[in-house]
Structure 1
Amino acid sequence: MPTRKPVLPSDWVKHAQPIEGIERIEAWFHGNAYAMHRHDTYAIGRTLAGVQSFRYRHGQRNSLPGNTIVLHPDEPHDGRAGTEEGFQYRMIYVEPALFQEVLGGRALPFLEGGVTTDPRLAAATHALLPPVGYTLESLEQSDALAELANALAAATGTPARTAKGDFLAARRARDYLHAHRARVVTLDELEAATGRDRWSLSHDFRTFYGTSPYRYLTMRRLDAVRHLLLHGAALADASAAAGFADQSHMTRHFSRAFGLTPGRWLRTAGAVARLT
């Protein structure tokens, strides 16, 4: 009698109740999970089962159960199963601004390689990676983020001195972009709002927040799209409401940011309803 192959579960992504500045997921994928993409947050997580493989900074990375993954903002990466059995993981996406509240204008920590067994980072991420059904209290999250920011700085050797650049101007730019995220914002506006020339401001923003002002604005629009899609909006309506020129414009940016088309992203999120 021929051996029957085991039935693999469908791909799924479970989302925790969102709290401003941080997103938590737990997911299962087999085969190819995500195409190459980049987002403007840290992606910090732990592999729970299987082999989690991805390309990152021109190399192949493999995360095993118990490893900690730390991907820097705006660094391209993909995702796939390293074996036929698939992989399961938990991940948090943290806005660099939350770490800057702890770092106070120091350069953002950068972990070379993206995967680590450093016990300091394993301990610091533990409180932020519970099952998605667990709701983090505000103070609990704040304490855990402060511990993680300091652990990242220590593990990566981030200098204790403030980085070169105008941190206050970068923070004013971020606040302005956040307040006007549903419309086109010009460089002239940012210069007027911050008192900083566009080239210096662009450098400052990337130093302190890990991405460019334009990418930051685009990601806030994509956050709005995801929220609207999960609440039943049509793609065209969500695109328009979030300030994109049209649906195709939004879809191109969505795929580059998340490694999935809006339709596939929504299908994996929709699988949660069948699992919970």
Structure 2
Amino acid sequence: MNSAARSSNPSDWAGSFEPIERVTNRLVGAAFSPHRHDTYTVAVTMAGVQTFNYRREIRYSLAGQVLILHPDELHDGHCHDEAGFSYRAAYVPPTHVQAVLGGAELPFVANGVSTDPALIAAAFNLVVDCAGVEDPGAYEDALYDLAHAMNNAAARVATVRIANRTAVMRAREFLETAVVVGTRLDELEQVSGCDRWQLSRDFRALLGTSPYRYLQYRRVELAKRLLREGAKLAEAAHGAGFADQSHFGRTFRKTVGLTPKEWLRSDLFRTIVL
């Protein structure tokens, strides 16, 4: 049995990039014959054991591990046992990775399977957390983390340069005015006068977080204020610029460590930091 779901949802349009393909699949008693993609295959094994031939060796991916298959590399896929396996995948064009890395050689994850915590976290964010999210900035942010995690896993040495503080401060000031309406990297590029991916690197270097997450933090702060003023959850989500209440709940929990309802019941709800 091969049960697959391919996504063509508009949320998979990657901001200023062409759309990416996402797949959710469960394989039992079936196999993929040898084939190639012209994209990176970024897959998270959700359950079972995935077995495949890659670069003349048999590889295994267990639940919670990540596959990063380089473009144009021949591979197959089959079940390790009768229980089968399930996975979720995203197919990331190398041009997207190139945009982040600024023309550097594409990173190659030698074994195809990684247990590196940073790479797993980045892949899970791009493949699972960003699926169905309508905010293009979520993909751009996840792409940045994935590209650099792959680069680190490939043991590449990053070039040291001085960050453009003026551009970062311009971007930060603009983000403060765009909490509700939101923005994208191409807009920040125009505002700051700096290449969007270089701006992402410099923003992280000087402020410790990405432009996208900086905006999410400001949205959560605004939502907290609205909740303290008596707004309902749906009202706070909409008033702080979240696409829907589900997106609000996920982002709130990632930022605070509690769901909005748990936060409302906690002492933190009554704590205001001045």
TM-score of the pair, normalised by structure 2: 0.53
1:127 to partner: Cα distance: 1.7
Query: How much has 1:12 moved relative to structure 2?
Result: 1.1
What is residue 6 of structure 2 aligned with on the other side?
Answer: 15
Structure 2 residue aligned with 1:154 = 152
CA RMSD between the two structures: 1.7
Could you say what secondary structure the match of 2:34 adopts? strand
Structure 2 vs 1, CA of residues 132 and 147 (structure 1 numbering), >3 Å: closer, same or farther? closer
Pair 1:135–1:98, CA change in 2 (3 A) = same
Give, in whole Å, the separation in 1 of the partners of 2:105 and 2:57.
24
Q: Which residue of 2 aligns with 1:101?
A: 99
1:79 and 2:77 are equivalent in the alignment: yes
1:234 aligns with none
C-alpha separation between the residues in 1 aligned to 2:60 and 2:28? 14
Pair 34,63 (structure 1): closer, same or farther in 2 beyond 3 Å: same
Matches within 5 A, 1:161-172: none
The CA deviation string for residues 225-268 of structure 1, in whole angstroms up to 9 with x for no partner, is xxxxxxxxxxxxxxxxxxxxxxxxxxxxxxxxxxxxxxxxxxxx
Unmatched segments (≥5 aa) in structure 1: 1-9, 162-276
User: Of residues 91, 99, 109 in structure 1, which corresponds to 2:89?
Assistant: 91
Higher gyration radius (CA):
2
Report the counterpart of residue 217 of structure 1 in structure 2.
none
**1:141 maps to amino acid:** Y
What amino acid is the match of 1:158? R
Distance 1:60 1:123, change over 3 A: same
In the alignment, which of 20, 25, 28 is matched to residue 27 of structure 1? 25
Deviation >4 Å, runs of 4+: none
User: What is the correspondence of 1:1-276 to structure 2 with a 5 Å cutoff?
Assistant: 10-16=1-7, 17=9, 18-19=12-13, 20-130=18-128, 134-160=132-158
- Displacement of 1:133 in angstroms is 6.5
Aligned length: 152
Residue pair 1:50, 1:85 contacting (<8 A) in 2 also: yes
Q: What secondary structure, in the 3-state scheme, does the structure 1 residue paired with 2:46 have?
A: strand
**CA 153–34 in structure 1, closer or farther in 2 if over 3 Å, else same:** same
**Partner of residue 268, structure 1:** none
- Aligned-pair identity in percent equals 43
The separation in 2 between residues aligned to 1:123 and 1:47, in whole angstroms, is 13
Matched residues in 2 for 1:133 and 1:160: separation?
Answer: 29
- Mean Cα displacement is larger for which, 125-134 or 89-98? 125-134
What secondary structure does 2:140 align onto?
helix
Instruction: Find the aligned partners of 1:106 and 1:133 in 2 and give their Cα distance.
Output: 27
2:32 match: secondary structure = strand
Q: Secondary structure at the match of 1:50?
A: strand
Query: Where does residue 250 of structure 2 map in the other structure?
Result: none
**Measured at CA, do residues 73 and 67 of structure 1 come closer, stay the same or move farther in structure 2, by a change above 3 Å?**
same
Q: Deviations over 1:198-224 (max 9, x none)?
A: xxxxxxxxxxxxxxxxxxxxxxxxxxx
**1:106–1:159 Cα contact (<8 Å) kept:** no
SS of equivalent residue, structure 2 residue 126: coil
Looking at structure 1, the residues matched to 49 and 153 of structure 2 have their Cα atoms a distance apart, in angstroms, of: 24
In structure 2, what residue type is equivalent to 1:125? A
**CA offset digits 1:170-190 (Å, max 9, x no partner):** xxxxxxxxxxxxxxxxxxxxx
